[in-house]
Structure 1
């Protein structure tokens, strides 16, 4: 349109017309599209199977471990003329989510109250990290809920939180991981690290009536090892990955 409406201006600019406005304008549009895609949860450029997963390894994430190969997925995109709108990995994510939904629907009427652990080991916000580490070692748990007065749920601590905190300290203090971990768990520290300093407060939660299908979806991607079960803000139980696997194993024996 610019060429048709302003031929004289284009002639004066010469080669620079390809750079400005066409080249710079195109780059700006692509950058805006990439930012918009990230803000709306769409990844651009399209993800491929050779990209590392969230753990930095080459294994596919659990939700994408399908029976279809990369070539078969690419063929599906080609047949339905979607190769320019959807990446191979994105298609795998959609199929994985669909399979997970079907598996969840077949899990029956089981709810969180049927499989959750009731006799809980919890910690207070001011519980020192040394005591938390002792609880992890003694009970072999992977998660410890943090509660306040009247069993009000405040957050949860996973074992990985201890490792992450020690790693952060080792980088910040420029010392080895072992020394940083020893310092973190030193009972003689003047200001000990407490549960409230490392706990997670934004993870998934459930109620007693949450179906097994929803719990399966929440823990399928490996982001959390346990889901707290709440009733009006109070902790009444917790569903761990072990509880979930046991429930699915019983379901498979019933068929």
Structure 2
């Protein structure tokens, strides 16, 4: 059987297809094993083997969540901490008031679920914690109201291991919204958010679904954005950066003087100049803004005209390193780069050589052509 046959065979299996790689399977498996072992070991040291064994079920379930789906809303630190805490408290109260029967265990699970929903800390293994708290053996029952302590020790140990292991293996945990970069320092939203969906749209869609969605808002937003990107790539066909970039370029060197760069920009009505070294490799880029800021530090444009800064080389002014793209990059992938990252143009590099420049104007022309062809 060829190597391509195995993934195809997996897609024929019943159940939801998992879009994860075997490397992620191994990472999650090792993390869950480490988390379970260390948590039970620590609990055993403090409260004894009997208590640790009674609580091993919910700990194992939590370990799977924290390491296999660390981006899920059910696996965040507050979910496990709050879920374990309210479930342990509810189970203790129900057991003290109603005894250790199956009926009381079912009631404890139901009340714990309501509390977790209300406190936004839904964590399914919390139900198992409530079940254990009511139906546990004598070792846990002997602790009485202090039965909350081994439960919370397990929760805190698991969270600590998840924080260390997930981040060490390249998975950002816990999930936090990325800080929004406001390049214009205004109250306007980024361009893609003004023309795409908003947080209010996302909330409305979730309200229409009605059920619980085990995705953080950040992950859900990223998922929808990626769907939009895939749709743009499909609608724009095979258009690449090489199809729309400018090829007849004006360039400078690190030794080019500021005055010469200004004259070159003015003569060709350009906003940026790529800077190449002796081997014609791209080493920097300089814009009118860079020159204006440099001149501002020198005093004024008058100072420049009097010779104050005209002998300064571009190596003192240019931006380096430079964000560049490949000529084979799909045009659709330029949209977020040239609309939300504060970039007005991008050098196009192939085999370390500058082969073109692509600008916002080039992108707009390509989008207009695509709309006309579809119309």
TM-score, structure 1 normalization: 0.66
- 1:21 corresponds in structure 2 to none
- 1:101 corresponds in structure 2 to 230
2:261 equivalent to 1:142: no
| Alpha-carbon spacing, 1:98–1:80, altered in 2? closer, same or farther (3 Å) | farther
Instruction: Measure the CA separation in 2 of the matches of 1:245 and 1:155.
Output: 25
- Gap regions ≥5 residues in structure 2: 1-42, 48-155
CA radius of gyration, larger in: 2
Instruction: Measure the CA separation in 2 of the matches of 1:94 and 1:162.
Output: 40
Instruction: Measure the CA separation in 1 of the matches of 2:177 and 2:309.
Output: 50
Instruction: Give 1:46 deviation, angstroms.
Output: 4.5
Instruction: Give 1:124 deviation, angstroms.
Output: 0.9
- Gap regions ≥5 residues in structure 1: 6-24, 171-178
Greater share of residues in helix: 2
Contact 2:271 2:287 (8 Å CA) reproduced: yes
The alignment covers a number of residue pairs equal to: 222
After superposition, the C-alpha distances for 1:131-150 in whole angstroms (9 at most, x for unaligned) are 22222222222221111224
2:369 equivalent to 1:239: no
- 1:86 corresponds in structure 2 to 216
Contact 2:250 2:274 (8 Å CA) reproduced: yes
2:324 equivalent to 1:208: no
Contact 2:241 2:358 (8 Å CA) reproduced: yes
Secondary structure of 2:283 counterpart:
strand
- 1:19 corresponds in structure 2 to none
Residues 43-82 of structure 1: pairs in structure 2 closer than 5 A: 46=177, 53-77=182-206, 79=210, 81=212
| Alpha-carbon spacing, 1:163–1:108, altered in 2? closer, same or farther (3 Å) | same
- 1:121 corresponds in structure 2 to 250
CA RMSD of superposed structures (Å):
4.0
Instruction: Measure the CA separation in 1 of the matches of 2:277 and 2:324.
Output: 17
Instruction: Measure the CA separation in 2 of the matches of 1:76 and 1:189.
Output: 60
Instruction: Give 1:80 deviation, angstroms.
Output: 5.2
Instruction: Measure the CA separation in 2 of the matches of 1:195 and 1:41.
Output: 39
- 2:281 corresponds in structure 1 to 152
